[in-house]
Structure 1
Amino acid sequence: MSYKIDVVIEKDEDGYYAYCPALKGCQTQGDTLEEVQANIKEAIELYLETLSDEEKSILQRQEILTMTLEVQVA
């Protein structure tokens, strides 16, 4: 079965950091964007293997929205 999982990737001075907001504790890092993408895909696959069918069903119904907001600071 295929799952669509939201992933956040952040770049910093040490490389890249990725995590899944819907999968508590599912996170990884990598030196390049390609490496972190491969790492997070593997981490998600391993994480999903630990879930029950009911937990996977709940995960499929969960919706996570991301957006960019512009705010002014005095």
Structure 2
Amino acid sequence: MKFRIILEYDPETENYAAYCPELPGCCSAGDTEEEALKNWAEIL
């Protein structure tokens, strides 16, 4: 199954957030884009 993952940078926290609009409430964060995506993969 494929999911659309959105990455957003938050300048206040200096972190990246990764979330999937099709899965409300499921999100991850990291210091880099790669870390946020790695953390997202661990959710699934």
Normalising by structure 2, report the TM-score. Answer: 0.82
- Which of structure 1's runs of 4+ aligned residues deviate more than 2 A? none
* Greater helix content: 1
Q: Which runs of 5+ in 2 are unaligned?
A: none
* Greater strand content: 2
Kindly indicate whether structure 1 or structure 2 has the higher relative contact order, using CA contacts under 8 Å at least 6 residues apart.
2
Aligned partner of 1:37: which letter?
L
Count of residue pairs the alignment pairs up? 42
Q: Which residue of 1 aligns with 2:8?
A: 10
| Higher gyration radius (CA) | 1
Q: Which runs of 5+ in 1 are unaligned?
A: 46-74
Q: CA deviation at 1:42?
A: 1.4
Q: CA deviation at 1:26?
A: 0.5
Aligned partner of 2:42: which letter?
E
Alignment RMSD: 0.9
Q: CA deviation at 1:24?
A: 1.2
Q: Secondary structure at the match of 1:17?
A: strand
Give percent identity, aligned residues only. Answer: 43
The question of 1:20 aligning with 2:20 is answered yes
Normalising by structure 1, report the TM-score. Answer: 0.52
